[in-house]
């Protein structure tokens, strides 16, 4: 495994000499480097070399190169400059301006006036206007990403590592709590200029109050539950803030994006009305005499530590404080002790008053951490449900056991068939739901308009809620090793499954006949067949002599016993199947070939590749719960089941079954 570059290591034909590592994260490393040609310090950013073993490394390299192009388009005196980029030891390197100085986070705690804060905000606003003009969103504006140059006391916006073009489909959920708006907690939510406006307003909030604002997810939860926003007005924390500045901050930090200013210029027009008078640095006593914000204990503790530093600095630096009498100092000390006691009591109150179940309303659903906390679970003698065989093969036994452990009154009973003889499947489950035979259905693909219209004619609505991802996996006999066959493209697969290519040597592999397997054509309810035919074969027919088998396990057995064989399954069906190999797939020759598995033996699914769309989207799909909105027991049962499966514990259960959780559960 390649190690980091050590001090003294030379790059690009000795042009650059490594001095030290400035910072290292899971994806990237930043080095302080001497440019020997121009005799100046620069920053070189590159990917963490430990990632080179990952299947998605080439895609990361492409994104990293994209960052360089983004930065080169954004020329502005308050944006970090990019000088050069090159490849060294198979790693993309970006050479950037080195900016000595402290970041705005540290500067704020030394004391900053409203006039100074606004000046820095105006400078960064100008930088963001250029960013947005280039159809980019920075998406990580925060005090720590703003450096103050000591030479001219000007602010420079740095770290565009998570910038992405607005209109691309791949979105990364990278955020900094307390400065990130609510849309950044969702992979699918649009993110545009208003996203950076929220972060910039939150930055100004922090600069003027020395308090991090309540994070947007907590605010969103409280607004939905009670209609009350727990965000403390910045003017409450620092009464010296002008009313206009206070209003501009709150307007920029509106929870819902449509209520915020939609451009930097629009937000600046609010600030332009603000008073520009000097405001002395906020001190510890004035903070304690205002209403305490209902933030986390960690934030309160951090605030307390920083407040102590400010108090100490003010004692040393402010002339008026030095002239205070001994009695006044003692009196102030008593106020400080009282303030600390008040803060401690507030922390105790927050701990004792914290609700035991942390649930969040989301439309008709209520998302909780624990299955036991899910509300409104019905008490019914029997709740029949069914549909996709993927669920019954992997999940249903596990989920019934777990659910009834916490909600024994919720008597779930999964069914695979009825006396009519119909076999289970996604479309069959929807049919059963329409006929009133089951309370909710499980499907492996989105409904068409036909069942929705039929439901409407019967006086109710069908609603699908995604609970997991699964993906189509292209599998071959394990004898076709990566040395023989590295990957295939969509065009290759089209040629194979339509019989246009019949031997692996045509792909540079061994002289071996290609044998095709597939699930029985009558199993149209299996989404793998339909998804593959729709996306890869472009709705054309399969090869006529393809061998059809009745069940997924029969396909797996055939693959293990037949050299040169190929088929498609879901990735959840391929986990730990040692005698088959899951192939990396690319959309075309110019795209990165990616496997949905975490390793060559497919011991697990790589969740990040699926969530971030590195694996071709055409081969990804979601697993749904179809809820019957009829204001009756079926609706209550369907919503309760969806709530349970989308809880943190429910999503971990989904993962145990071999699927990819729909929600990103980090704890």
CA 2 and chain centroid, separation: 28
User: Is 310 inside a domain boundary?
Assistant: yes
Together in a domain, 292 and 273: no
Which of 592, 597, 625 is closest to 610 using CA atoms?
597
**Distance in angstroms (rounded) separating the CA atoms of residues 644 and 373:** 9
Tokens of 410: 């919720």
345: domain range? 283-354
Q: Which segments of 290-325 does DSSP mark as H helices, in order?
A: 297-317, 319-322
Together in a domain, 482 and 599: yes
pLDDT at residue 276 in the model: 43
DSSP states of 546-594 as a string?
PEEESSHHHHHHHHHHSTTEEEEEEHHHHTT-TTEEEPPEESSTTS--B
Domain-ending residue, one of 65, 97, 129: 97
pLDDT at residue 165 in the model: 40
Together in a domain, 241 and 346: no
Domain-ending residue, one of 36, 62, 97: 97
User: Is 667 inside a domain boundary?
Assistant: no
Together in a domain, 147 and 266: yes
What are the pLDDT digits (tens) for 131-172? 998 888 888 899 989 999 988 899 999 876 554 444 333 344
User: Is 363 inside a domain boundary?
Assistant: no
User: Is 5 inside a domain boundary?
Assistant: no
Together in a domain, 593 and 645: no
pLDDT at residue 26 in the model: 59
User: Is 252 inside a domain boundary?
Assistant: yes
Together in a domain, 181 and 245: yes
Together in a domain, 163 and 224: yes
**Distance in angstroms (rounded) separating the CA atoms of residues 645 and 661:** 10
CB-based burial label for 305 (10 Å; 0-12, 13-18, 19+)? exposed
User: Is 78 inside a domain boundary?
Assistant: yes
What are the pLDDT digits (tens) for 401-425? 889 889 999 989 888 777 667 778 8
Together in a domain, 416 and 462: yes
Q: How far is CA 41 from CA 19, 44, 98, 339, 581, in A?
A: 9, 10, 6, 46, 49
Write the CATH number for 597. 3.40.190.10
Together in a domain, 277 and 292: no
Indicate the pTM of the whole model: 0.47
Question: If residue 167 lies in a helix (H) or strand (E), which one and from where to where?
Answer: none
Together in a domain, 116 and 226: yes
What are the pLDDT digits (tens) for 539-577? 787 877 789 888 888 999 999 999 999 999 888 888 889
User: Is 305 inside a domain boundary?
Assistant: yes
Domain-ending residue, one of 80, 97, 114: 97
Spell out, as residue ranges, where the chain has pLDDT lower than 50: 1, 163-173, 274-356, 524-525, 667
Which of 192, 210, 212, 193 is closest to 202 using CA atoms?
212
**Distance in angstroms (rounded) separating the CA atoms of residues 191 and 194:** 7
Write the CATH number for 74. 3.30.200.20
User: Is 364 inside a domain boundary?
Assistant: no
Together in a domain, 307 and 275: no
pLDDT at residue 188 in the model: 60
Together in a domain, 565 and 607: yes
Say how many domains are in the chain: 5
């Amino acid at each position: 495994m390649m190690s980091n570059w050590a001090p003294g290591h030379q790059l690009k034909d000795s042009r650059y000499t490594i001095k030290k590592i400035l910072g290292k994260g899971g994806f990237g490393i930043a080095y302080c480097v001497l440019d020997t040609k121009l005799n100046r310090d620069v920053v070189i950013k590159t990917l963490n070399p430990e990632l080179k073993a990952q299947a998605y490394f080439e895609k990361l390299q492409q994104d990293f190169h994209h960052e360089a192009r983004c930065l080169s388009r954004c020329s502005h005196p308050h944006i970090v400059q990019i000088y050069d980029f090159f490849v060294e030891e198979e790693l993309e390197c970006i050479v950037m301006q080195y900016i000595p100085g402290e970041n705005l986070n540290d500067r704020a705690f030394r004391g900053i006036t409203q006039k100074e804060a606004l000046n820095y905000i105006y400078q960064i606003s100008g930088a963001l206007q250029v960013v947005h003009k280039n159809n980019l969103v920075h998406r990580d504006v925060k005090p720590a990403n703003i450096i103050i140059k000591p030479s001219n006391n000007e602010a420079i916006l740095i770290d565009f590592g998570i910038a992405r073009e607005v209109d691309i489909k791949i979105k990364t959920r990278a955020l900094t709590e307390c400065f990130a708006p609510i849309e950044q907690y969702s992979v699918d939510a649009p993110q545009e200029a208003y996203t950076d406006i929220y972060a910039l307003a939150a930055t100004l909030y922090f600069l003027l109050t020395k308090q991090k604002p309540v994070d947007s997810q907590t605010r969103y939860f409280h607004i939905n539950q009670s209609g009350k926003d727990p965000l403390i007005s910045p003017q409450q924390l620092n009464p010296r803030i002008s009313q206009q500045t206070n209003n501009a901050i709150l307007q920029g930090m509106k929870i819902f994006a449509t209520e915020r200013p939609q451009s930097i210029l629009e937000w600046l027009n609010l600030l332009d009305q603000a008073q520009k008078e000097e405001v002395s640095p906020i001190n510890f006593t004035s903070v304690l005499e205002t209403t305490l914000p209902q933030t986390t204990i960690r934030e309160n503790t951090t605030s307390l530590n920083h407040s102590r530093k400010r108090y100490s600095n003010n004692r040393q630096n402010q002339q008026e404080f030095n002239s205070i009498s001994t009695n006044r100092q003692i009196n102030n000390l008593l106020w400080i002790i009282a303030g600390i006691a008040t803060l401690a009591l507030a922390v105790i109150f927050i701990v004792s008053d914290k609700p035991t179940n942390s649930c969040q309303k989301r439309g008709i659903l209520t998302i909780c951490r624990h299955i036991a906390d899910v509300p409104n679970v019905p008490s019914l003698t029997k709740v029949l449900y069914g549909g996709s065989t993927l669920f019954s093969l992997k999940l249903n036994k596990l989920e019934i056991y777990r659910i009834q452990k916490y909600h024994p009154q919720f008597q779930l009973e999964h069914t695979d068939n009825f006396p009519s003889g119909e076999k289970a499947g996604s479309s069959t489950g929807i049919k059963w739901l329409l006929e009133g035979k089951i309370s909710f259905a499980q499907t492996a693909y989105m409904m068409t308009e036909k069942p929705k219209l039929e439901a409407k004619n019967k006086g109710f609505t069908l609603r699908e809620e995604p609970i997991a991802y699964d993906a189509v996996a292209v599998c071959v006999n394990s004898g076709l090793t990566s040395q023989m066959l590295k990957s295939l493209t969509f065009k290759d697969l089209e040629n194979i499954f339509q019989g246009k290519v019949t031997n692996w040597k045509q792909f540079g592999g061994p002289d071996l006949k290609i044998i095709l397997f597939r699930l029985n054509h009558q199993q149209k309810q299996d989404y793998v067949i339909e998804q593959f035919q729709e996306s890869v074969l472009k709705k054309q027919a399969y090869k006529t002599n393809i061998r059809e088998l009745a069940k997924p396990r029969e396909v797996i057995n055939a693959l293990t016993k037949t050299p040169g064989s190929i088929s498609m399954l879901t990735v959840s069906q391929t986990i730990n199947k040692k005698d088959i190999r899951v192939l990396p797939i690319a959309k075309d020759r110019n795209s990165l070939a990616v496997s949905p598995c975490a390793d060559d033996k497919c011991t697990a699914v790589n969740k990040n590749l699926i969530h971030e769309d590195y694996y071709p989207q055409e081969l990804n799909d979601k697993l749904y719960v179809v809820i019957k909105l009829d204001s009756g027991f079926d609706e209550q049962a369907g919503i309760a089941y969806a709530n349970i499966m989308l809880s943190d514990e429910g999503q971990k259960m989904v993962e145990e079954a071999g699927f990819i959780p729909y929600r990103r559960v980090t704890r």
